[in-house]
Structures are given as structure tokens and as C-alpha cells.
Amino acid sequence: MEKITLASQLLQYLITGLTVGSVYAMVAVGFNIIYNVTEIINFAQGEFVMLGGLIMVFFHVAMGLSLILAFPATVILVTLVGMLLDRLAIRPIRQPSVLTLIIATIAASIIIKGAAMFIWGKDPYDLPAFSGRNPITFLGAVIQPQYLWVIGFLVFVVIALSIFFDRTIIGKAMSACADNADAASLVGINVKQMILLSFALSAGIGAVAGITMTPISLMEYDRGVMLAIKGFGAAILGGLGSFPGAILGGLIIGSIESFGAGLISSGYKDAFALLVLMAVLFFKPSGIFGDIEISKIKRF
Amino acid sequence: MTLRRISIIATICLFVVGLLINPAQAFKGTYKVGAVFSVTGRTSFLGDPEKKTAEMLAEQINNAGGINGHKLELIIYDSEGDATKCNLAVKKLITKDKVCAVIGPSLSGTSMAVLPVAEKNKTPLISCAASYKIVHNEKTGKPYKWVFKTPQTDTMAVEAIYSHLFKRGLNKIAIISVTSGFGASGRGELIRLAPTYGMIIVADEKYGPKDTDMTAQLTKIKGKAPAAIVNWSVGPTQVTVLRNWRDLGMSSIPFYQSHGFGSRKNIELAAGAAEGILCPLGSCNIAGLLSASHPQKDVTMKYSKDYKARYNEPLSSFGGHAWDALQMVVQALSNVGDDKAKIRDYLENNIKGFVGQHGVFNYSLNDHNGLTKDAFNMVIVKDGDWALAD
């Protein structure tokens, strides 16, 4: 076998890091959408990713639906789960404080995980790659076509979200809730509906992340927690509430893990990502794109 | 009226008599054997086939007339993989149920927790867990007096892999392992035994049990150009690492998996990437592949056929550990009866050339595991199925 050059190795680490980072970024974006409207951290975010992967396996592999049909069906189903989460776990809570709501999402994540274990069992499931498994060689590094799908969907999610928040009335109404919920309701925005919408959106994005990553790394019922932690780290790193921050944060954490594992020690790769996170928070407590003035008026 | 009453009473009497003449009455007495497995909980993949195997065997033995006319009564408790519950269950088996021997538990952790109970109550225990420490007292350097075990150890798996590498003349290896207890233990043995087999470890990479991608670690390994890669993990990561290995175009470097890879499900999940993978497996995983002259051919074929017929599910190699443990106890019972001390002595002195599911056992004063690396067969994945490697 020919020896791989250092340059190719570095390129390989970068590609791997960006792919893994894209998944973290999508989870982080999901955190931010809900955070912006409700000021809570939805710890069931990782469960949406897991459900996305497993429901896609059910539709595409078990039921034999084509990719074009199974993909939207999965996203819609997971979106419904997200809306149910709001209606059943978040809205009924009386005198909600941020802390009780966060605890409710933790409970929901445990329930969703348990339900998934009952339905699918503990085995991991595989999904065929969207466009085959023949790797593309690029300057000595190897790229799976699925990597491009993951990164591509991140780009798509980013573009769609920025159009939604900047160009549509509903998007602007959501941003208004994020800025000041009381003022938003005074001008006639239905805040409760916006909260429901935020859960729906972030569940949908979580589903996309799960669907695109499953052909690379398989999916099983208890994958959600780890992804939620990494995505949360990415959201904090980029500045909670900031979309560019979430994406940058995800890509940075993914790349650090990959370079750390490759160049220094694979045993400590999670530690490198956390070290960078802590260092950033030390110098800029609000995260890379976060605004300290805004974070002061937030309840959490 | 009276005639009808008489006939009713007569029917009832016949019914009661019929109940009394129970087939169980044909036995002279019962031999009680206890078992503790992790039937439910996170490690149910171990305990569930073990319980099913033990129940199936007990049924077969009793249907065939029991052990020297005695009925084999098997009392099984579920430890749920919990050390405290396991400890209580074993105490209950010994003191309340008064069993003459205990088989199980399923995990190394729970086995270590019940060692002292078996020792204190002088009751033979045959563990179905992997760790070498179960039958190795660190203080004396000898096995515990009352404790035996059936599964192969990590050491034997490493020896089997290294012997195979040595035979092929490969000595520059890269190891990659998961950071769980299983991976850490395997990695430790890989490093410890490397000098004995002349192996040079050029890379020692790790990944987490929930990691989604090992491309970075494999790229680093690729840079070191080893002659072979040895991976030590269980669960989905051992499949992901294979796919990454194939995707990176590293298929020309032979890839060895640990004995944790022994499930056909893994071959399916790898979606073609498992082709050419080598791993050490116990004979009961590959009963159909063994040559007719192989000593374990008959027992493994019978077990695999019976299990599939009885439970309508594919055989799990873990059930084989319970098979080995229970059959040894049964052999002891049929030779020396249900005296605990006699059973223990019989196990230590007379289990020689015992043909089980996972190997041919030879217990002795200093060896309460009784297996060597020959208990593993090197197997290669060929056309989506196992084949014996040469």
C-alpha cells in the first residue's frame, strides 16, 4: 500500500471534522431555535436526531419507500413528535420557570429514548447511503459521497432558515418573540403558536441531521444524549442564540476532535474540544458570536 | 339421583388419583442446581440465551429420565446485571433453596461480587463471565477453591490473533480499541503479549463507545503503514470502524477483530465492508463449518439444532457458556451425587477432556478455566458468512 502524505492526512482530518461538525452544527441550530423563542434548553434535541435516523430506517428499509418519499415522511413524523413534546410536556406546566421547563425536556428525552428502545430494540440499524458507497479520492484524501450530503444539508438548512427568519412574516414574528415575548404578544403575535413552531422546526432539523448521518455511523436508540451534549457545546461555543455561532461552533468542535485524534491522541479527543470550549468561555463568556449585553437580560 | 351422585364422586376421585399419579413421581429425588443470569437489563444479550439454554438442557435431561433417576431441578434468578441483586440471589440459592452448585453469573463484575459468597458457603460456582480474575486470586496466585469458569479469556483471544499473525509473518501492527472496559482490557493484553510473539505496535489508537466516526484514527494508522490492524470493541463502533477502513481504501491491510465480533448481524450491518475480516471465535459460533473429525462437531451441531428448534431464533454463543457450565455440573452429579465438596473435587480432578461448546476443558488444581487458545478458531468473513481461515 502506498504511504499517505502528511498533507493528505491533514486534508482527511479536515473533511472528517467538517462532516462530524456539520451534524453537531445542526443539533446546535435546533437548540438555538427553541432557546430564542422560549429561553429554554431542550435536552430532548438529541432524541430528535435519533428518531430521524430510526424512523427513516423504518420507512426506507423496512417499508421499502423510496428515498424521495421516505425523507419528507420522516421529517414530518419527527416534526409531529416535536410538536407533541411542546403540547404534552411544555405547555401544560403551570407557572413555568425556565428550570422546570428544562427538567421537563430531560424527562421527555428519557421517555423518547425508552420508547425507541421498546420499538426498535437495542441493536444498531443501517441505512443505505443516498448515492452509493464508492468513495471519491481527492488529493490523497478519501471522501464518502454521504459526507457531501451531510455538509450539503447543513448549507441547505442554513439558507432556508435565514430566508425564513429574514423574509417571512412568521419568521419575523418568531424573531420578535425571541427579542421580547411580552411586547410580541402586545402587537398580536400568538406566542404559544410560535413556541409550538419552534419545537416543530428544531425537531425537523434534528430529523434531517439523523437521516443524513445514519448511513455513515449507523443509529441506535441511545445515540441522542451524546449528540445533544456535543451540539450543546457547539451552541455555547458559538454563543447561545446565534445561528452563525452555532454553525461555526459545530464545525470547530468537529474539526478539533478530528485533528486532536489524528495529530495528538485519540484517547483525549473529547477533552480537546472541551478545553477549547472552556478557553473561549474564559475569554468571552457569551461565546464567539454572543452578545454579553443581550445575555444579561435573558433569564437563562 | 344417587346413581348420578355416585358417578360424580367417582369421577372426582378418579381425577384426584390421576393428579396424584404425576409423572414426576417416577423420580427417586431431586438434585437442585441454582443459576443466576442477567436475564433483563442492559446485559440481557448475555443472560437471556444463557437462561434459555439452561432451561432447555434441564428439560432434555428430565425427559430422558433425569440424572441416575434423580430429577434435575433448576432454580434460576435474574441479577439484572446488578452486583447487589446478584449477591442476594446467590445467598438465597445457597441458604434458602439449598442448591448443591451454582452456575453463572453472566458478567465479570457480578461474578467478582459473588466470589466471597461461594467461598464462604463452600458451594461450587461456575461463572459464565470472561475476566481471568474470577479464577485467579491475586494474593495466592492460585484459583479460588470453589470457583470455576467456562468462557475463554481476552488473553486467549489475543494469543489466537497473534499466533495467526505470526504464522503469516506479519509483525508490524496497529491497534485500535474502544475506551470501555472491554476495549481497555483487550488493549492491555495486546500490549502485554506483543513482545512474546515478536509484535511491534506502531500505532495505539482509541475511540469512545458512542463515537460516530473513526476516520481520523484510521488515517493516522494509514500514515504509519502497518502490516495489520487489530480492533478491540463491541457494539456499533466495531462496524463503523470497518466501514471507515474500507472507505479509506485500506482494505489491503489485513483487519483483525476481537471475539466480540461473533455475530452475523455485524456482517450484515457492515454492508459488505466486513469481507475479509478475521476474528477468533469459539466453536459453537461456527458448528456447521467444523470438519467432521473436530472433537466438538457433534455437541455444537446438536446444541445449535436444538436451540433453533426450541426457541426459533439463531444461536447466541453466550448461551454456550451456560451449556458448558451446566453440563459439567450434571456430569459431576451423575458421578458423585449432590454433595457440594464432592462436586467441587470432581470438577477440579475429573473434568479432563470435557467436550463443551466453547472448547475442550481440562480443569486442574491451578487452572479453573481449563481452556487454551485452541478454544478459538480463526475465522474469516467470506461472501457475507463465516469461513475457517487458514
Pick from B239, B247, B268: CB nearest A135: B247
The secondary structure element, H or E, covering residue B239 is: helix B237-247
Q: Which of A207-216, A285-294, B91-100, B240-249 has the lowest mean pLDDT?
A: A285-294
Q: Which residues contact B85 (CB under 8 A, 6 or more apart)?
A: B78, B79
Cα(first)–Cα(last) distance of chain A, in Å?
A: 54
- The string of pLDDT tens digits covering residues B310-328 is 998 888 888 999 999 999 9
Integer Cα distance of B327 and B316 in angstroms = 17
Q: From the CA of B263, how many Å to the nearest CA of chain A? A: 12
Rg of chain B (C-alpha set): 24
Classify the C-alpha dihedral B300-B303-B307-B308 as positive or negative.
positive
Q: Beta strands B376-382 and B385-388: pairing type? A: antiparallel
The Cα–Cα gap between B192 and B318 comes to 26
Chain A residues with at least one Cβ partner in B under 8 Å: 1, 3-4, 6, 9, 12-13, 15-17, 19-20, 23, 122-124, 126, 128, 133, 135, 137, 142, 144, 213, 216-218, 220, 222-223, 226, 257-259, 261-263, 265-267, 269-270
**Chain A within 8 Å of B340 (Cβ-Cβ)?**
no
Q: Does B155-287+376-388 match B29-152+299-371 at the fold level?
A: yes
Higher pLDDT, B347 or B81: B347
Instruction: Flag whether residue B207 sits within 8 Å of chain A, measured between CB atoms.
Output: yes
Taking the C-alpha atoms of residue A155 and residue B130, their distance in angstroms, rounded to an integer, is 48
What is the 8-class DSSP label of residue B374? Answer: G
Is residue B85 within 8 Å of B79, Cβ to Cβ?
Answer: yes
pLDDT, one tens digit per residue, over A63-87 is 999 999 999 999 999 999 999 999 9
Instruction: Give which of A50, A125, A142, A225 to mutate to test B binding, by max B Cβ within 10 Å.
Output: A142
CATH class of the domain at B29-152+299-371: alpha beta
Decide if A89 contacts A211 (C-beta within 8 A): no
* Average pLDDT for B117-140: 91
% of chain B residues with pLDDT over 90: 58
pLDDT bucket at A26, cuts 50 / 70 / 90: very high
CB contact under 8 A, B220 and A124: no
Number of Cβ atoms within 10 Å of the Cβ of B173: 26
Distance from CA of B210 to the nearest CA of A (A): 7
Estimate the share of chain B in helix, then strand, then coil, as percent rounded to the nearest 5. 50, 20, 30
The Cα–Cα gap between B160 and A250 comes to: 42
Cβ distance B212 to A266 less than 8 Å, yes or no, reads no
Rounded to a whole number, what is the distance in Å from the CA of B181 to chain A's nearest CA?
14
Instruction: Closest CB to A266: pick one of B206, B212, B223.
Output: B206
The better pLDDT of the pair A7, B158 is held by B158
DSSP states of B60-88 as a string? HHHHTTTBTTEEEEEEEEE-TT-HHHHHH
* B212/A17 touch (CB, cutoff 8 Å), yes or no: no
CB of B385 less than 8 A from some CB of A: no
Q: How far apart are CA B94 and CA B347, in angstroms?
A: 18
Residues of B in contact with A223 (CB under 8 A): 210, 212
Class of domain B155-287+376-388: alpha beta
The per-residue pLDDT for B85 is 93
- The tens digit of pLDDT for each residue in A105-159 reads 999 999 999 999 889 987 888 898 888 888 888 888 888 899 999 999 999 999 9
| CA A239/CA A241 separation, integer angstroms | 6
Give the number of other CB atoms < 10 A from CB of residue B179. 18
- The answer to whether B285 touches B300, Cβ cutoff 8 Å, is no
Q: Which residue in B has a C-alpha nearest to residue A257's C-alpha?
A: B216
Q: Higher confidence at residue A132 or residue B30?
A: B30
- Name the least confident of A127-136, A162-171, B338-347: A127-136
Distance from chain centroid for Cα A281: 21
pTM equals: 0.79
Longest dimension (CA), chain B: 99
Dihedral sign computed on CA atoms, order B159, B165, B171, B177: negative
Which of B208, B215, B239 has the CB atom closest to A12's CB atom? B215
A6-297 classified as CATH 1.10.3470: yes
Distance from CA of B138 to the nearest CA of A (A): 29
The predicted model gives A148-177 an average pLDDT of 91
The pLDDT of residue A12 is above 50: yes
Q: Could B222 and A4 be called an inter-chain contact, meaning their C-beta atoms sit closer than 8 Å?
A: yes
Q: Please, which pLDDT band fits residue B42 given cuts at 50, 70 and 90?
A: confident
Grid coordinates representing A151 are 455538509
Question: What does the pLDDT look like over B61-116, one tens digit per residue?
Answer: 999 989 999 999 999 999 988 899 999 999 999 999 999 999 989 988 899 999 99
- Give the pLDDT of residue A296: 66
Query: Which residue bears the cell 441493536?
Result: A123
B238, closest residue in chain A (CA to CA):
A217
Q: How far apart are CA B267 and CA B284, in angstroms?
A: 18
Query: Averaged over B137-149, what is the pLDDT?
Result: 91
Quick one: pLDDT band at residue B174, thresholds 50, 70, 90?
very high
CA distance A263 to chain B (A): 8
Average pLDDT taken over every residue of chain B: 89
- Whether B253 and chain A come into contact, CB under 8 Å, resolves to yes
Which amino acid is it at B234? V
Domain edges within chain B: 29-152+299-371, 155-287+376-388
Q: What is the mean pLDDT of residues B201-224?
A: 89
Confidence of residue A297 (pLDDT cuts 50, 70, 90): low
